[in-house]
Structure 1
Amino acid sequence: MPAPSVAAIQAIMREGVPLAAAWGIEVLAAEAGVALVRLPFRPDLLRPGNTVSGPALMGLADVAMWAALLSVTEGRDESVTSTMTVNFLRPAGAVPVLAEARLVKRGRRMVFGEIILRAEGSDDITAHVTTTWAVIAPAG
């Protein structure tokens, strides 16, 4: 079966994580275990210092990894985040943020991933994230 479209992955993500819809997170690309996701600028996601907050960046990273997973699971995935390590390297500023997620290893029980976050229009890395997801076997 073909991989779901970007629009389908975005719809699944927004339904499964309503916060992603509330924040307006967009799936720009998702194929073969790699996804590019965008968090639009929102003043309510800023922290003191006029930069996107850590919780918003972590949420973006988490849904970006799910988009990458959905691209290889025919849009059906109930895996859950087990661990997430975030290294904040520099402030993003008051701009949209891009998250590029990729599956590093997909096993039967665990999935390992990496996400790079950047301020839109910048090559500088805002945050480097590694994550592990526990695979939830479908009932049946």
Structure 2
Amino acid sequence: MTTIPPKMTAVEMESFLEREFPQVFGAANIYVVEAVAHRFARMRCRYHHSQLRPGGTISGPTMMTLADTGLYVAILASIGPVALAVTTNLNVNFLKKPEQKDLIAECRLIKLGRRLAVGEVAIWSDGAPDDLVAHATGTYSIPPDR
């Protein structure tokens, strides 16, 4: 693990997300920042029955949002509050039907450049960290004026 401190704490990140993205991080509070470090974030998606798709599995869009948000949080933890960092690519492999419980995502940045960041995300059902339900990779564009 790196010794570089994060630019934002988990509490600062939650406040930023609530302010900048109230449609996702407002009153519902489904996606939670559990931990941040330089080039790292751990997120939780609280289970809710509205996330289910036919067959009783948690929907792909729920897991994709968790992966995308986790990468965004890992980037901001590393560079500071830059609202206009945007996803340019997100690839998700769904590996297993998740249980009807909270999902946990751990996000690590593989590359953090001045204009691009690339990361990977491991997602599992709460309590089963060795049994991935999805794996994602993503690329973000970072605006030049941060």
Per the TM superposition, whether the score is higher than 0.5 is: yes
Aligned with residue 29 of structure 1, among 5, 16, 35: 35
In structure 1, runs of 5+ residues without a counterpart are none
Q: Displacement of 1:65 after TM fit?
A: 0.7
Match of residue 112 from structure 1: 118
The alpha-carbon deviation at position 110 of structure 1 amounts to: 1.2
- TM-score by length of structure 2 reads 0.87
Q: 1:6 aligns with which of 4, 10, 35?
A: 10
Greater mean alpha carbon deviation, residues 108-117 or residues 6-15: 6-15
- Aligned position for 1:55: 61
The answer to whether the 8 A contact 1:69-1:77 is kept is: no
State which of 116, 131, 135 in structure 1 corresponds to 2:138: 131
- C-alpha change, 1:117 and 1:20, in structure 2 (3 Å) is farther
Alpha carbons 2:92, 2:136 under 8 Å: kept: yes
TM-superposed CA distance for 1:77, in Å, is 4.7
Using the TM superposition, give the Cα deviation of residue 78 of structure 1 relative to its aligned residue in structure 2, in angstroms. Answer: 2.2
Unaligned runs of 5+ in 2: none
Contact 1:30/1:68 (<8 A) preserved = yes
Structure 1-normalised TM-score?
0.91
Q: 1:134: how far off?
A: 1.0
My pick for the range that moved more, 100-109 or 70-79, is: 70-79
Q: Which is further off, 43-52 or 112-121?
A: 43-52
Contact 2:43–2:106 (8 Å) recurs in 1: yes
What RMSD, in angstroms, separates the aligned Cα atoms of the two structures?
1.7
Correspondent of 2:24 among 19, 33, 37: 19
Overall identity of the aligned pairs, in %: 31
The aligned length equals 139
1:14 Cα deviation after fit: 2.9
- Partner of 1:72, secondary structure, is helix
Provide the secondary structure at the position in 2 that maps to 1:95: coil
Q: How far apart, CA to CA, are the structure 1 residues paired with 2:137 and 2:6?
A: 28
